[in-house]
Amino acid sequence: MPKRRWPALDFFRRLRPASPGAHELSPQDAFRAQREHMVEDQLVRRGIRDPRVLAAMREIPRHLFVPGEDRGLAYEDMPLPIGRGQTISQPYIVALMTELLQLKGGEKVLEVGTGSGYQAALLSVLVRQVFSMERYEPLAQQARDTLAHLGYRNVTVLAGDGSRGLPEQAPFDAILVTASPPSVPPPLLEQLAPDGRLAVPTGPSGGQRLELWTRREAEWDHEDILSVAFVPLIGQYGWSHERSR
């Protein structure tokens, strides 16, 4: 597969503005200031209200989940490539999808699409236990290493077909999918606990919608949230290799 190009990133990499007074701050303090700006300008201003989600977004060092050449862009309002044709999602979308789950702290959560591990880290400070599935073993291992290094101990990263869910650990109080299948995978709906919530983008490139599903015993409530753009979810209940290109 040809290497994916990100021409807009080349422009931002050259500009890469410094935060006001950044020359007076340690790198750690400079990144903390960028996180605060991200939360206030990108999240609060756009309507993210859950105080636990906002606190987690302020805490998690997003830049450590971004490849080195783009680390200075980690808190910008954009997705970023992380290798294998995958991305770390735009901060606002991460916060929105997390807020939609209405997490209280005692949940067991499944994430489909580990990527760099940033979303799993965010979930780890909000819930009791996180299982995260990644199709590409190299990304899964890199995420394991980063999460372990940063001390997020309640996350288990597994390599496999996330479109099938993780039946041996079901039911889940919440499921979050960070890649887009053609439609909601039936196994994920079945693996929701009663009153469990599933946030998932569905549809082809250029026509994806973020959906929220809530289980009510044998039925599911459905909400259409907004238009989004995610990489395709490959798997038995996702896209085939051929259709995803």
Q: What is the pLDDT of residue 26?
A: 85
Q: Please check whether residue 1 lies inside any domain of the structure.
A: no
Q: How many residues does the chain have?
A: 245
pTM: 0.89
| 197 lies in some domain | yes
Return the active site residues.
89
Residue 10 lies in a domain: no
Q: Note whether residue 64 is domain-resident.
A: no
Domain range for 142? 78-244
Task: Kindly state whether residue 192 falls inside one of the protein's structural domains.
Answer: yes
The phi, psi pair for 162, rounded to 5°, reads -70, -20
State the pairing for strand pair 108-112/172-177.
Answer: parallel
The number of angstroms, rounded, from the C-alpha of 157 to the middle of its chain's C-alpha atoms is 14
What is the number of domains present in the chain? 1
Closest CA to 203 of 228, 166, 236, 173: 228
pLDDT in tens, 6-45: 555 554 455 454 454 445 678 889 999 999 999 999 999 9
Three-class DSSP category at 79: coil
- Per residue in 117-157, pLDDT (tens digit) is 999 999 999 999 999 999 999 999 999 999 999 999 999 99
Question: Rounded CA gap, 196 and 218, in Å?
Answer: 12
CATH of the domain at 85: 3.40.50.150
Residue 168 included in any domain: yes
**Joined tokens for residue 144:** 């394991």
The Cα–Cα gap between 75 and 60 comes to: 11
Q: How far apart are the first and last CA of the chain?
A: 9
Range scoring the smallest mean pLDDT among 1-15, 93-107, 228-242 = 1-15
* Within-domain flag for 43: no
Asked if the structure places residue 205 within a domain, the reply is: yes
